[in-house]
Amino acid sequence: MSETVSNPQLRARCEEFLYHTAELLDNRQLSEWHDLVTEDIDYRVPIRTTRERSNRTEFSDSSFHMKEDWGTLEVRTERMQSDFAWSEDPPSRTRRHVSNVRIVDDDGEEVRLKNNLLVFRQRGDETEPEILSMERHDTLRRTDDGFKIAKRLVLLDHTIIPTNTLSIIL
């Protein structure tokens, strides 16, 4: 393991950033969360495919639950805070649990890392919560204001998502 990848201070800063962004989303502070993404962000949640064992990936290269850029994320966050977010009326109650943060690479400008996310989601007066489990591959870019998310690839553990809508940001 390289010294960069095993840097405990850097990992702690990355963890704090991920915890902060999770808290913003859980508290529905979507504009504040959007301020922490870069203008060239690449945000993708590919569809998991079920295949027999082979050398091919389990995730689609062309089909996505979400494929977003800065502008579409801005529209999504603004709509979620408006009266027109029908899929989120009433708003979901969420709790994001970030864990297993691993630094993959640090080139001095950007830190590539993997982390696990478990999302507890309760909607309206439903009694059964929705649980979403995933691995995220994030690229955090250093800026004068701190880290910003430059890239996020979300790999859901589910083949069929246990929710009627995937309207929340992961």
Q: Is residue 70 part of a domain?
A: yes
CATH of the domain at 29: 3.10.450.50
For residue range 22-46, list pLDDT tens digits in order: 999 999 999 999 999 999 999 999 9
Report whether pLDDT(105) > 60: yes
| pLDDT score of 92 | 80
Q: What angle do CA 46, 107, 6 make, to 5 degrees?
A: 85
Task: Count how many domains the chain has.
Answer: 1
For residue range 86-103, list pLDDT tens digits in order: 565 667 889 999 999 999
Q: Is residue 167 part of a domain?
A: no
Q: Is residue 164 part of a domain?
A: no
Q: Is residue 133 part of a domain?
A: yes
Distance CA 48, CA 60 (A): 6
Q: Is residue 1 part of a domain?
A: no
For residue range 121-160, list pLDDT tens digits in order: 888 777 788 999 999 999 999 999 999 999 999 999 988 7
Q: Is residue 162 part of a domain?
A: no
Q: Which domain holds residue 19?
A: 8-156
Q: Is residue 2 part of a domain?
A: no
| pLDDT score of 167 | 76
Q: Is residue 166 part of a domain?
A: no
